[in-house]
Amino acid sequence: MSKIKFDRRDFIKASAASLFLAGVPIAGYTKDRPPGNIAVILLEGGMDGLTAVPPIGDPDLLRMRASMTPTDYLTLNPFFGLHPSLANYAALMARNEATVIHATSFPYTKRSHFEGQNLMEGGGLSPFAEKTGWLGRALELANLPGRALSLDMPLILRGHNDNDNFFPASIRKSKRPNANLVDMIAMSHQGDVGNLFHKVAKKSANKVNIPRDATSLAKYAGQEMSRADGPVASVIRVKRFDTHANQVADDGKDTHGNHAIQLAIVDDVIAAYREGLGDAWQDTIILTLTEFGRTVAANGTRGTDHGYGSAGLLAGGSITSSRVIADWPGLRKQDQYEERDLMATIDYRSICAACIERSLGLDHDKIASEIFFDSQLPRLYDYVFS
Amino acid sequence: MNESFRIAQKLGLMFKPSDPLPKDMQAWAISQLHAPSPALGQPHKFATIAPWPDHLQPNLKKRAHMWRLYRENKKKERERKDGQDTQVAKEANRRNNLMRDKDELKFAQRNVYGDDQLRLRFAAFWANHFTIGNTFDTSSMIGHAIDEAIIANLNGDFANMLYLVTTHPGMLTYLDNVWSAGERSPHTKRCRKRPDCQAGLNDNLGRELLELHTLSPAAGYTEADIRNAAMVLSGWGMDFGASTQDMLERAKTTNHWQAFKPRYAEPGLKKVFGKTIYAGKNGLKQLTDYLAGNEYTIRFISTKLCQHFVSDKPKRTDIAYISEAWRQSNGQLDVIHTAVIERAIASDEAKFIWPMTWLFQVIRLSEATFFKGWEDIYNYDDDIMNTQKIFAELGQSFWSSRQPDGYSSKKEEWLSAEMLERRIRFADAIYNIGRVKHSTTKIMDRMGANETTRRLVASADSRRHKFIALMCSPELMGLSYV
């Protein structure tokens, strides 16, 4: 463990990477910028931001959660480390192509997976308020297509007719559906279902055989996004972040704790996106999204329970300067949300909004009012992309 | 569709061409709640239907024993002992000691061949309401929970089912309760004298018990209620691989369904959502009984039942009817299910059919064969896919590693181009290998297919395409009756 100990005041003075949310939202129009790509990695279950990006300079980290903090973290700066599973991500940070947002969350404090996931995808003012998702609405406004790499259509992408999904099929003794037949089936169905069957008819012309793991899907998604007529947005799920038990390994070298395994998948997914995107990486922003963070203290089963603040991982050529963006709340009992969770001091919707603005060229005020239905949503674009 | 088939689609698994059609559908549907319910299946494909053999349905004790053997062999495999690291031994260990493949095939077969179609639909509803996801550690217990905690108790009351599911080792393992210990329990106090101690509360099951299994967030319970529920649950459950001696020492029983470890339990009174719960093993029954009868629970689950069987957007009057049956009967499932049947029959709305339910219905309507025989589980078949693979491709399985909220009954969660393509592909595969016994004309005539369906089928240019068109019609997907 690092010998350097900062208190919160020292940290804020010392770290140019930190952020104070005191600024007035800056008006800005980016309409003329050519659109880039946006990829969202959904981390289902609630990622522990304090495990992914441990605040090693916070003197309370070890006091509050010694058993949850491995010793072999990577050092980002005197205050923040990075979980050893995120080695590729660390290299991207060194190249100024990745930025961490810490102590952040969607404005949801009630700790239900299902309400939280609905809110982080729907992007409305309360869980289950919206039938469409924030990325779907953004693509509708930009009139650009997106694609989910899943069998279902996740809520986050609903709301734009040109969005579709892809997941490899392997059903023995069935042939590729005949387009005429599928069109006839489509015509017999009403509304949305008919439209979806028409998409099946179009799609069945080109068969893609790739494995179903998130990494292979990310590489494929990157390749598709790099095509001139491909989607500009994609969504991939990584599950099993709900580590109530055995979150970290017990030997101090955290390679096989449940969070370590999932973080390594996220690291691979980002690397695979980069590989698939090729040159299009330069105009791409990838961001993670999780429904909430976890308790600061470990529970009784070498894990953590549902909490509030977490961290977001951003990567892509759209980033020009790597940072850890945080208004660090501290980890003492009185600093915690309800004396148990990491406090969230940055509204992650502002980060999503900045990524939409950067990749789809939409104006912040429009994003705030028409996508997140909150015209007061602060604009944090310049903290992320300047 | 005529009334018989409309009701069988909404509430059951469809009539096979060889099934006689009941004269009074409502009376038949209600009588189905008490239909004899053996798990029927086939030893080999195309063989005669027979009850699933006993030796493939081990009890909980035997399953725990097999799980211990599996773990011991895996340990030997890592240590390269006793030849356990050979491919043959590894495969034998999996086949002999894990239950998932057998349980999932049994579930599929009984749904295809069972004469208890309504019971099976209600069983699927509850198995989904009380989701036990596959964490691998739970894989040998999911099937047992469905059979013994749910199907065996479909004619009892909800409170009893709630208690039996909550205390089932599958649930206690899935939501981490087997490792939870009260903060002030003797075990935790003693453990914390050591520097490397890991002991204390895990609130996972306590939270989902309130959020998903009973009250729902609409009740407005607090974080303290969740924590107190977790304290009531502390002490319940033993690792499925625990030795007999360990079971006897810590829980004074060798029955995993009764395993309560007093030294891990939080002492003292707890208060959950206004109810005072006493310490000790009986506290949990006190809690689940209280939650089972709570008005929020009644409204939440009545709404879910409506969404599953009546309409995606249930009417207040339908929900009120089912809730009232629940209140009047103190949660008797027969009465509640009868109310659901009545409302589903009274509604002329189409109800979206889950992918797995649709698959069973397609197979039954055409009397096809699509699953392996139980004697052939581990034999390669040129035509028939492994059961696990079928459900994975379909995107729905009770043995998948799903989230504890289970599958949605709403159609918007299931509508995507990929999902719809799977319907076409499976209809195709069933036609190609299933030895479909009946023509689309015969199926349509018997079910009274509507004009849209008939026109669609007429426009298809081959028997194969006609079959696919029929099975993917709005009518047979439960999307529209016009």
Q: Which residues of B touch A165 (CB under 8 A)?
A: 416-418
pLDDT over 50 at A20, yes or no: no
Q: What is the pLDDT of residues B356-406, one digit of tens each?
A: 999 999 999 999 999 999 999 999 999 999 999 999 999 999 999 999 999
pLDDT over 90 at B30, yes or no: yes
Distances (CA, A) of B451 to B225, B366, B470, B471: 55, 20, 12, 15
B179: closest chain A residue by CA? A301
A203: confidence class by pLDDT, cuts 50, 70, 90: confident
CB contact under 8 A, A151 and B469: no
Please, what sign has the CA dihedral across residues A140, A145, A149, A152?
positive
Task: Please indicate if any CB of chain A lies within 8 Å of the CB of B200.
Answer: yes
Task: Please indicate if any CB of chain B lies within 8 Å of the CB of A66.
Answer: no
Res A28: pLDDT = 38
Half-sphere exposure of B127 (CA within 13 A, CB side): 26
Res B155: pLDDT = 98
In a domain, A2, yes or no: no
Q: How many CB pairs under 8 A join A and B?
A: 173
Q: Which residues of A touch B451 (CB under 8 A)?
A: none
Calculate Rg over the CA atoms of chain A. Answer: 21
Strand duo A284-290 + A37-43: pairing? parallel
Same domain, A267 and A118: yes
Name the pTM for this structure: 0.93
A205: confidence class by pLDDT, cuts 50, 70, 90: low
Same domain, A37 and A111: yes
Res A33: pLDDT = 44
pLDDT over 90 at A372, yes or no: yes
- Say if residues B108 and B100 touch (Cβ distance below 8 Å): no
State whether residue B385 is helix, strand or coil. Answer: coil
Find tokens 């003012």 and name the residue.
A125
Q: What is the pLDDT of residues B332-368, one digit of tens each?
A: 999 999 999 999 999 999 999 999 999 999 999 999 9
Q: Best mutation site among A68, A155, A167, A188 for testing chain B: the one with the most B CBs within 10 Å?
A: A188
In a domain, A237, yes or no: yes
What distance in Å separates residue A321's CA from the closest CA in chain B? 37
Same domain, A67 and A216: yes
**Domain coverage including residue A198:** 169-207
CB contact under 8 A, A245 and B176: yes
Task: Please indicate if any CB of chain B lies within 8 Å of the CB of A306.
Answer: yes
CA distance B362 to A291: 38
Please count the structural domains in chain A.
2
What tokens were used for A145?
């297509």
Q: What is the pLDDT of residues A324-352, one digit of tens each?
A: 999 999 999 999 999 999 999 999 999 99
> Which amino acid is located at A166 in the chain?
F
Res B470: pLDDT = 98
CA distance B210 to B189: 28
Q: What is the mean pLDDT of residues A203-227?
A: 88
Same domain, A245 and A337: yes
CB contact under 8 A, B416 and A153: yes
In a domain, A25, yes or no: yes
CA distance B128 to B471: 25
A169: closest chain B residue by CA? B393
Res B39: pLDDT = 97
CB contact under 8 A, A244 and B480: no
Q: What is the pLDDT of residues B93-148, one digit of tens each?
A: 999 999 999 999 999 999 999 999 999 999 999 999 999 999 999 999 999 999 99
Same domain, A347 and A230: yes
Same domain, A184 and A115: no
Same domain, A95 and A224: yes
Q: What is the mean pLDDT of residues A156-175?
A: 93
What distance in Å separates residue B440's CA from the closest CA in chain A? 15
**CATH number for the domain including A65?**
3.40.720
ipTM over 0.90: yes
CA distance B210 to B291: 8
The overall average pLDDT reported for chain A is 89
CA distance A85 to B466: 52
B207: closest chain A residue by CA? A112
pLDDT over 80 at A63, yes or no: yes
Q: Which residues of B touch A182 (CB under 8 A)?
A: 424
What distance in Å separates residue A340's CA from the closest CA in chain B? 11
Element (H, E) at A185: helix A179-188
> Which amino acid is located at B284 in the chain?
L
Q: Which residues of A touch B453 (CB under 8 A)?
A: 188
CB contact under 8 A, B432 and A148: no
Contacts of A349 (CB under 8 A, 6+ apart): A106, A107, A123, A134, A372, A374, A377
Q: What is the pLDDT of residues A233-279, one digit of tens each?
A: 999 999 999 999 888 877 667 778 899 999 999 999 999 999 999 99
Same domain, A118 and A190: no
pLDDT over 90 at B208, yes or no: yes
CA distance A6 to A9: 8
What tokens were used for B473?
């019609």
Same domain, A199 and A216: no
Task: Please indicate if any CB of chain B lies within 8 Å of the CB of A279.
Answer: no
What share of chain B has pLDDT > 90, as a percent?
A: 97
Same domain, A251 and A156: yes
Same domain, A243 and A195: no
Q: What is the pLDDT of residues B286-311, one digit of tens each?
A: 999 999 999 999 999 999 999 999 99
Q: What is the pLDDT of residues B6-27, one digit of tens each?
A: 999 999 999 999 899 999 999 9
Distances (CA, A) of B284 to B251, B272, B350: 16, 11, 40
Q: What is the mean pLDDT of residues A213-220?
A: 96
A155: closest chain B residue by CA? B413
Same domain, A288 and A189: no
Res A27: pLDDT = 35
Q: Which residues of B touch A298 (CB under 8 A)?
A: 198, 200
Residue that terminates a domain, selected from A152, A187, A207: A207
pLDDT over 80 at A37, yes or no: yes
The overall average pLDDT reported for chain B is 97
